[in-house]
Amino acid sequence: MHAFTVSSGASYRPRIIAFAAAFVFAASFSASASHVAPLSTGPAAEFEGITRLFVSFGELDVMAEAKGRIESINGGLSFRYRELTAGSYLRVIDWLTLGAFYRLQFGATHNNDWIWPSTLEWYWQDTASRPEHVLIGDITFRLPLDFIPGSWRFELKAQYQHTFYYDSYSWYQRWFTLSVLRVRPGVSWFILREGSPFIDLTLQFDGYIPLNFDPKPFYAWYIYLGMLWHATEHIAFGPTVAFINKTWATSLEYTRASPGSTYEVYHRAVSIGLTVIFSLEP
- Mean pLDDT over the full length of the chain: 86
Integer-rounded Cα Rg, in Å, for the chain is 26
pLDDT digits over 107-161, tens only?
999 999 988 876 667 888 899 999 999 999 999 999 999 999 999 999 999 999 9
Q: What percent of the chain has pLDDT over 70?
A: 83
The span from the CA of 275 to the CA of 69, in Å, is 12
Please give, one letter per residue, the 3-state secondary structure of the chain: CHHHHHHHHHHHHHHHHHHHHHHHHHHHHHHHHCCCCCCCCCCCEEEEEEEEEEEEECCEEEEEEEEEEEEEECCEEEEEEEEEEEEEEEEEECCEEEEEEEEEEECCCCHHHEECCCCCCCEECCCCCCEEEEEEEEEEEEEECCCCCCEEEEEEEEEEEEEEEEECCCCCCEEEEEEEEEEEEEEEEEEEECCEEEEEEEEEEEEEEECCCCCCCCCEEEEEEEEEEECCCCEEEEEEEEEEEEEEECCHHHHHHCCCCCCEEEEEEEEEEEEEEEEECC
Domain boundaries, the chain: 1-34, 39-280
Segment 202-253, tens digit of pLDDT: 999 999 999 999 998 999 999 999 999 999 999 999 999 999 999 999 998 8
For residue 117, CA distances in Å to 34, 120, 131, 161 come to 16, 8, 21, 30
Q: Report pLDDT for 213.
A: 93
Strand-pair category, 264-280 with 45-57: parallel
pLDDT at residue 74, as a whole number: 80
The C-alpha atoms of residue 106 and residue 101 are separated, in whole angstroms, by 17
Give the pLDDT of residue 68.
98
Rounded CA-CA distance 35/37 in Å is 5
What average pLDDT does range 90-110 have in this prediction?
97
**pLDDT band at 90; cut points 50, 70, 90:** very high
Nearest partner of 102 among 52, 137, 128, judged by Cα? 137
Q: How many residues does the chain have?
A: 282
Paired strand residues for 132:
105
The answer to whether the beta carbons of residues 183 and 217 sit under 8 Å apart is: no
Q: Is CATH 1.10.3470 the right assignment for the domain spanning 39-280? A: no
